[in-house]
Amino acid sequence: MMWYVLHTFTAQEDNVRSMIYKGIKDTELESLVGDILVPKQKTYIIRDGKKIEREKKIFNSYLIIQCELSPKLYSYIVNLPGVTTFLGGKSPSKLPQNEVDRLLGIEERGKEKVRTQHEYFPKDKIKIIVGPFADFEGIVDKINTENEKLIVNVTVFGRVTPVEVNMDQVELL
C-alpha cells in the first residue's frame, strides 16, 4: 500500500476520516485502505495563568491516507462531502517513504511524550502569549533550560530583535 495526501475543506479532516472508514466498512474497498492519519501534536498554552493542553493539527486541511488506490476507491473518496481532491489531482502523487516516516515520527512523538513547556528547540516558531511582547511571533534562537528562559528573535518595527522570555510565556506555532 502507498501513502497519498488528501485535501479537505477546513476543519473537516476528522469528519472525512470517519466517513471513509464508515463508508468502506464491510465492502470490497475495506481491504484497499490501511491507515488514515490526521497529524496532530499536543501542546500546552497558558491562559489567565492556567496551563491548558490542546491538540494542534500539523497540516490544516490535509489527511494522509495509506491505500491501494483503485479507480473505484478514488471515485468514492473524492465524491465524499468535505473532500476537495488528492494532492496531484486526477493522478495522485505518492508520498515518498522518507516523508511518511518523518510524519509518523511526529505523530508517535506526540503520542509517546506530550510536549511540555520545557521542550523547545532552536529554530522552532513560537508565539509569545503573555507580557509586553504578547501576540508577537518569533523563532527560538537560544535555550536556557536551567532558568527556563528562551532567547527569541522577533521583528519589532522592521528589525529583528532578540527578546528573553520565560518558557511558559510562549506557545508553538
**Nearby residues of 6 by Cβ (< 8 Å), 6 or more positions away:** 16, 62, 63, 64, 65, 77, 83, 85, 86, 87
Residue 120 lies in a domain: no
pTM of the model: 0.60
Cell of 80: 465524499
**What pLDDT score was predicted for residue 118?**
55
Angstrom distance (rounded) from CA 129 to CA 171: 7
- Asked which of 112, 134, 158 is the last residue of a domain, the reply is 112
CATH number at residue 144: 2.30.30.30
- Asked which of 65, 84, 112 is the last residue of a domain, the reply is 112
Residues 83 and 146 in one domain: no
DSSP 36-66: EE--EEEEEEEETTEEEEEEEESSTTEEEEE
- Tens of pLDDT, residue by residue, the chain (173 residues): 999 999 999 999 999 999 999 999 999 999 999 999 998 888 877 777 788 888 888 889 999 999 999 999 999 999 999 999 999 988 999 998 888 888 777 655 544 444 444 578 888 899 988 888 888 999 999 988 888 889 999 988 889 999 999 888 888 88
**What pLDDT score was predicted for residue 163?**
92
Angstrom distance (rounded) from CA 101 to CA 117: 26
Q: Looking at the 3D structure of the chain, how many domains does it have?
A: 2
**What pLDDT score was predicted for residue 170?**
87
Residue 119 lies in a domain: no
**What pLDDT score was predicted for residue 113?**
40
Residue 117 lies in a domain: no
In which domain, by residue range, is 46 found? 2-112
